[in-house]
Amino acid sequence: MSVLQQDGALLPVEPWSVTTRFQPVASTGGVPLMHIVEHYGTPAYVVDEADVRERCRAFRTALPDAAILYAAKAFLCRAMVTWIRQEGLGLDVCSGGELAVARSVGFPAERIVLHGNAKTPHELLEAVEYGVGRIVVDNLAEITRLAALIPPGRQQKILLRAVPDIEAGAHAAVRTGGEGQKFGLSIASGDVAEAVDRVLRRPELEPAGLHCHLGSQIGAAEPYGRAVRVMVEQLARVRDTHGVVLPELDLVAVRPAPS
């Protein structure tokens, strides 16, 4: 794993948690690992609260002016959501189930982003009713579908998922930033421009900014730098064409798993 530093470098992070020790016996959080094996058997998944909190703080230190969201799909339970809430991070969810876990512990709705390319009408409605801070629109049809769910007199902030046509990721199957895949709105085809036009004609929707997701298992900062340049160009085009300044850029970063 890695943490992005202010100078843009990727700082390697030890794959073992900060409380893991190997002498006199292997332990995490002061609990011998063999005690866990004896009590729960194997395989057993152990989450170290101290380590999670330290990594949250490392990201907040590295990116003090950014909103940082934990991706619920990485691992989610009520305890994890509670730690994320207490550390001041936001939460990225991509299903009604993940949203339900967040709601069960009272996670602040305004710090939640719902995204996904196959959101059901019911999931969209649940997000609207809870008042999530942002909903990421993944395709043109979703604009009409979402707008129809907004109660009279309310507005829902949205992000438009743009495809920057940047290939990055450990394998072709996990690269989602290039043309020709099923996620997001193509810049090259004009879908992003069309989406902006449609959203600005919908008083129920408030365009907050753009969102992009390059893929998974990306071990370098360089592709994100290229994505930022492409996305900022799109923000400038929206400003120049419509006189609207979109204040937010949501850049999803998925790091390689520890080796």
Can you give the pLDDT at residue 256?
A: 47
Coil vs helix vs strand at 67: coil
Divide the 259 residues of the chain into consecutive groups of 10 and give the mean pLDDT of each group: 45 72 91 95 92 93 92 94 97 96 97 92 96 95 96 95 71 54 84 96 96 71 80 94 94 56
Distance of CA 230 to the CA centre of its chain: 19
CA–CA gap between residue 87 and residue 78 (Å, rounded): 14
* CA atoms 52, 53, 54, 55: torsion sign: positive
The predicted model scores a pTM of 0.85
Q: Which of 109, 54, 102, 97 is nearest to 82 (CA)?
A: 102
Return d(Cα 85, Cα 89) in angstroms, integer: 6
